[in-house]
Amino acid sequence: MKVLQGILSESKDYYLQAREKIKKKLANLPKGSVKERIIAKKKYYYLQQRVGKKVVHKYLGKRRPEEVVKQIKERKALGVELRKVNEALRIIKRSEGRRHG
């Protein structure tokens, strides 16, 4: 039983560290999405994001901001990974709660 507890403890430590790394990465990536607007037959790009209850648009320029688009895709992938890590931590917590005599 101690072996199993050791494995659970190591797994919990691993997932806690992974969660912190993901959260740090997410803090440095932009939220929202890139929107293209056509005004007077010219394209303009904006970062659209929610701030409280409002939707805010931040001007990015006339050229497609590939780096911002890449960062937003990375943020979405990290969000999926964070959900998986949190689910693993919930499973570990449930299994720690069960005490067998």
User: Could you tell me the residue ranges of all domains in the chain?
Assistant: 2-97
* Residue 100 confidence (pLDDT): 54
Whether residue 29 has pLDDT greater than 90: yes
* Residue 101 confidence (pLDDT): 46
How is residue 58 written in tokens?
Answer: 């931040």
Q: Which backbone phi and psi does 90 adopt, to 5 degrees?
A: -65, -40
* Residue 20 confidence (pLDDT): 96
| Average pLDDT along the chain | 90
- Give dist(CA 15, CA 87) in Å, integer: 10
Mean pLDDT of 3-10: 80
Quick: pLDDT tens for 53-79: 999 999 999 999 999 999 999 999 999
Whether residue 30 has pLDDT greater than 50: yes
